[in-house]
Amino acid sequence: MKIFCGRANPTTGSVEWLEEDEHYDYHQEIARSSYADMLHDKDRNTKYYQGVRAAVGRVKDRGQKALVLDIGTGTGLLSMMAVTAGADFCYAIEVFKPMADAAVKIVEKNGFSDKIKVINKHSTEVTVGPDGDMPCRANILITELFDTELIGEGALPSYEHAHRHLVQEDCEAVPHRATVYAQLVESRRMWSWNKLFPIRVQTSLGEQVIVPPSELERCPGAPSVYDIQLNQVSPSDFTVLSDVLPMFSVDFSKQVSSSAACHSRQFEPLASGQAQVVLSWWDIEMDPEGKIKCTMAPFWAYSDPQELQWRDHWMQCVYFLPQEEPVVQGSALCLVAHHDDYCVWYSLQRTSPQKNGRVHPARPVCDCQAHLLWNRPRFGEINDQDRTDQYVQALRMVLNPDSVCLCVSDGSLLSVLAHYLGAEQVLTIESSAASHRLMKKIFKANHLEDKINVIVKRPELLTSTDLEGKKVSLLLGEPFFTTSLLPWHNLYFWYVRTAVDQHLGPGAVVMPQAASLHAMVVEFRDLWRIRSPCGNCEGFDVHIMDDMIKHALDFRESKEAEPHPLWEYPCRSLSEPQQILTFDFRQPVPPQSVRAEGAIDLSRPGRSHGAVLWMEYHLTPDSTISTGLLKPAEDKEDCCWNPHCKQAVYFFSTTLDPRAPPGGPQSVSYAVEFQPHTGDITMDFTLKYPG
């Protein structure tokens, strides 16, 4: 059987559906999954084990058999914990077939096949009765169905169904309870991930300001949570306006409802300011007394920051209020948490919803287009005034009063910059109707609807008529395209430049004029764990899972680099940054591949976890924009990465095992090749040891 998978195609700037082997998607799912990260989460695993032991003990103390239902068993780890703790039998539910198959093997390897039955179904399809999957209801419910938002993976409907159909009324539950916490803050940095700020442009006629349309100002934003490693946001980037507020709790040992609800907490602001952002996280208590607790709290809300457990499968949440609101220190307000069966959102109200009947049952939905087209890092990138200033400086160098400018980037303000800096004619290509509508709104808000011509078609279909018979003297790109996943996918700009070659006039300037691919070998503080073998977890042999992940990573392009926003994942450089490939946008894409081979010398001691790769765009000979490293890497300091872009990480599998000997390689050799017919960059790295 064949399946279809979406892949970014840098030659067309679009996502294309390719026919793949039936195992392809499974391999991708496993290779990029959080299973390794969860197995390395010592705090999670220890607390679950303690909670499971206590729950089994309470059931046994009542003189009952301990019958366990484990929903979302994954590797089978929690079921094996339960049997080891004395459970009589476990029903381990896993909907993902490759994972269920692995759980069967892991359970067998550890000698628990007679006490654990793995059921490859969604829990809502499990049957109870003489001919069912389970002969009777369970009296212990163990689950790990949580995401960063707690309920985003469908925990509430799953619990609701389990209590109605699969477990006894007085069952024990591990975890027993979850509590969601929130803290109101003012943060220009985080608010810039959600709203378009006025953008200042210095011109020969004075300062011009690009103002956001009123629709963007009023829009409540995207409904989805922004989950990040909040510990990497500096406390200087926000002002705390409230204490940490417990917003709502869910008792998993009783009937759970997935119905929409709201929970209000009155508080007095700690400071006056603009309420903009709600930071949120949760904790789970594994026992009824709340003595065994696992928390996602960031370091400033954690009792002992030195013992903070790093994890990537559960992070923290950033929510944006529908509008920023002024708050006054000491003047009481209500923060309201709303949720349906899968999502949480927040509002700020002057009085409690219970008192005046005001509730907001509907999730916020973007009605301005911007939040559908621009993700949160893209908002931040467009709002980066220093970045804008750099483009303005470069444009000044290449613009002439008679310039005919053609801009090619998705939802870019470059066309506005070019107009304000004096170009005679500015045209911009917007491939999608949604992007076209958004740019029209921005142009109209700035009285530019008659000044900038929007062409709604794919660049390769451009005709002389679209250009009103004129030749382009300046082709502009950031470049930025919404379909790009890896740094080099924005090389689509080069293909556009090639497609419009016939429309470029004599001596036409292309900006950026070139791009280059760079690489640097790094040691990660923590990110290496997501791809590291575990071997033994809480006394259980999980080598089968390690082998499964390794096999998945070895499956075709899983060996390629993967995108990560490295500002969230501290690392140290073990080498100097090295330029690997260059791409000359002044010339069309060459027909033959571009290949580079060489070695990166390791100049600093440490574990070589992987190579980081990024693109740099050379706007002019004197101006370069980096999508990766922002400043030279100091000897012992963490690298400073562009916070608006994801960098590519190529993990070295041989150094990810924490049991590997410490003697490190001397250099890393590479072979990197750009394939013009696919737009892909293939790569291979080899660690070179002394001797």
Catalytic residue numbers, as ranges: 144, 153
Coil, strand, or helix at residue 466?
coil
Give the tokens for residue 534. 């575990």
C-alpha closest to that of 556 among 8, 29, 33, 27: 27
- CB atoms < 10 A from the CB of 47, how many? 22
- Are the beta carbons of 681 and 672 closer than 8 angstroms? yes
- Cα 626 off chain centre by: 20
Distances in Å between the Cα of 199 and the Cα atoms of 186, 370, 417 are 20, 16, 10
- CB atoms < 10 A from the CB of 660, how many? 13
Residue 332 DSSP class? -
- Are the beta carbons of 606 and 574 closer than 8 angstroms? yes
Give the tokens for residue 72. 């979302």
CA distance 580 to 613: 9
Characterize the bridge pairing of strands 14-21 and 226-228. Answer: unpaired
- CB atoms < 10 A from the CB of 564, how many? 19
- Give residue for tokens 């939905």: 365
Q: In what order do the strands lie in the sheet with 333-339?
A: 261-267, 333-339, 344-349
Coil, strand, or helix at residue 512?
coil
Label residue 343 left, alpha or beta by phi (over 0 means left) and psi (-120 to 50 means alpha).
beta
For 181, residues 6+ apart whose C-beta sits below 8 A from its C-beta are 244, 245, 246, 247, 280, 281, 282, 283, 297, 301
Strand ranges for 350-464 from DSSP E = 404-408, 425-429, 452-455
- Are the beta carbons of 481 and 409 closer than 8 angstroms? yes
DSSP line for 521-563: EEEESSGGGGG----EETTEE-HHHHHHHHHHHTSGGGGS-EE
CA distance 636 to 573: 8
Question: What's the longest Cα–Cα distance across the chain?
Answer: 90
CA distance 319 to 528: 28
C-alpha closest to that of 74 among 143, 17, 10: 143
For 491, residues 6+ apart whose C-beta sits below 8 A from its C-beta are 10, 479, 515, 583, 615, 679
CA distance 258 to 340: 7
- Cα 96 off chain centre by: 22
CA distance 55 to 47: 12
Strand ranges for 120-272 from DSSP E = 138-143, 167-174, 177-186, 199-203, 206-210, 226-228, 239-240, 245-251, 261-267
